[in-house]
Structures are given as structure tokens and as C-alpha cells.
Amino acid sequence: MIFRTALWYYLLFAPRILLVGVLIALFRDGHHRKHPLFVAYIAYELVQFPLAFYLISAKSVSAEAYLSWSTFILAGSVLLRFGVIYELFRDLAKTYKSLARFSRLAFRSLLAIFLLIAVGLVAFSWPGNLHQMTLFKTFVLDRAVNLLQLGLLLGLFGIAKFFGLSWRKHVFGITLGFAVYLSVQLMAAAIQAEWGYYKVFDYITMATFHASVLVWLLYVLLPESQTALTSVPDAADVAAWNREVERLLHSK
């Protein structure tokens, strides 16, 4: 019991302390100017934490009030994550003008595809009675959002792999951290949407968020360099590739 309580408080506070370190490192290296939405996401997670901790700890807070406030807090986090994902698409592609346009098209296309899948998932899982609505709000909608955001991140990895793009280390770290966290969140939400709430998944998702923050901190602190998923093409290949992307865009 004592160990479980200590672990709970550690997983609540340790990631937030590390987020302060990530924020400091971003400002130290000037990355805050390139990733203002990621900075805003970190700041939001830090600012809302006292309220979230109060909602978790206070015995006077009813289950209905906790669900309402936690949904409101989560909505802000979700919206900022969408902004960060778009920021990652833009950052990876800005080396090439043609690819910058292509990445915007790819982002919108992937967003539309996974949004349709998410809407279908929500419609298919709509509860048959009001008593199941809490479970629906908590896990099914969460699963749909996680699927949408994880699909966008996997699409970003796929585009980088296909075109042999180079990653700046901190950009790769931010993307990897979100992908790991959303993968586990999706798994946990999917299982609980089908079989009900299990306390162990709170520990799993909190530990995964902790690991993601460690990934962000590690990659932000690493010396900056380009990391390619595949070999980088030479100048002639790049010119030909740019012409092909231009042709693809103009054919739409």
C-alpha cells in the first residue's frame, strides 16, 4: 500500500519536474522560437497540473465534477497536441519548398482519413443507454482522438522514411515521445472501452508519459545534428525529386 501510494505520487510529480527541464532546454538552445506550440503544450501541462492534482486529491470533489473538469482539461491538451503535430509536419518539410506544400497536403489528407475512421469508431460504439455514457465519454472518445493523432504521427514517420528526409534530433525526439505515449493511451482506452475501468492502466499511462518526457529531455539536450531515416540523396536526386513533387501537386 505504501509503495503503491509512493509510486502514484512519483508518477504525478516527476514528469512535471522534468517538463520544467525540457522547457529550460528549449529556451536555452533557441528551439522555443521554432516550436512555440510545443512550448505552449508544456506550459499548459504545468499550469493545469495544480488543478488536476486538486481534483484527484480532494474528497469534496464529486465524481460528476471530476469528470466535467478533467474533460475540460483534457480538451485543452488534445487541441495543443494537434497543433504540435502540425508543427512537426511543417518543421520536417521546410528544407524543401515543394515538400513543404506536399506536407500540408499530406497532413490534411491524413487528418481527413483518420477523422473518418475516428468518427466511424465513435458511431459504432455509441452507447445503447445513458448509464453507459460515462464509459463512452471517458474511453471511446479518448480512443478516437488517440487514434487520430497517432495516425498523423505514423504518417509523418512514413513520409520521412519514404523520402529519406533528415530529422533534427530534437524534432525526432518530440515526435517519438508523442508516438510512444499515444500508442499506450490508445491501447489502454481500447481495452477499457470494452471491459471497463482498471486502475492499473492509470499507472501504465502515467509511467508512459514519464518515459515520453524523458525522451523529450534526452533529445533536446543532445547536440544538434541531422538524423536521417535513410541515406540522404545527392543534389541531382534532390532536384529531380523536387520536380516530381511539383508535378504531383500541380496535377491535383
For 174, counting Cβ atoms within 10 Å of its Cβ (0-12 exposed, 13-18 middle, 19+ buried), the class is: buried
C-alpha span between 220 and 22 (Å, rounded): 7
Note the pTM of the prediction, 2 decimals: 0.79
What pLDDT was estimated at residue 119?
A: 63
What pLDDT was estimated at residue 169?
A: 86
Least Cα distance to 212 among 185, 186, 174 occurs for 174
| Count of the separate structural domains present in the chain | 1
Which of 114-128, 156-170, 181-195, 204-218 shows the lowest per-residue confidence on average (mean pLDDT)?
A: 114-128
Which of 39-48, 56-65, 183-192, 209-218 shows the lowest per-residue confidence on average (mean pLDDT)?
A: 56-65
C-alpha span between 16 and 44 (Å, rounded): 11
Write the CB contacts of 67 (distance below 8 Å, at least 6 apart in sequence). 134, 137, 138
Tell me the three state secondary structure of residue 125.
coil
Q: Give domain status of residue 242, yes or no.
A: yes
CB atoms under 10 Å from CB of 153, counted, come to: 22
Least Cα distance to 92 among 157, 37, 23, 48 occurs for 157
Write the CB contacts of 129 (distance below 8 Å, at least 6 apart in sequence). none
**Which residues span the domain enclosing 141?**
22-251
The answer to whether residues 208 and 184 touch, using CB atoms and an 8 Å cutoff, is yes
Tell me the three state secondary structure of residue 226.
strand
Q: Give domain status of residue 90, yes or no.
A: yes
Q: Give domain status of residue 9, yes or no.
A: no
Q: Give domain status of residue 46, yes or no.
A: yes
Q: Give domain status of residue 8, yes or no.
A: no
Q: Give domain status of residue 31, yes or no.
A: yes
Residues constituting the chain: 252
Strands, E assignment, 158-238: 166-168, 226-228
Q: Give domain status of residue 14, yes or no.
A: no
Q: Give domain status of residue 12, yes or no.
A: no
Residue linked to cell 516530381? 244
Q: What is the share, in percent, of the chain residues with pLDDT greater than 70?
A: 73
What pLDDT was estimated at residue 20?
A: 96
Mean pLDDT of 125-145: 57
Write the CB contacts of 144 (distance below 8 Å, at least 6 apart in sequence). 118, 119, 121, 122
C-alpha span between 156 and 147 (Å, rounded): 14
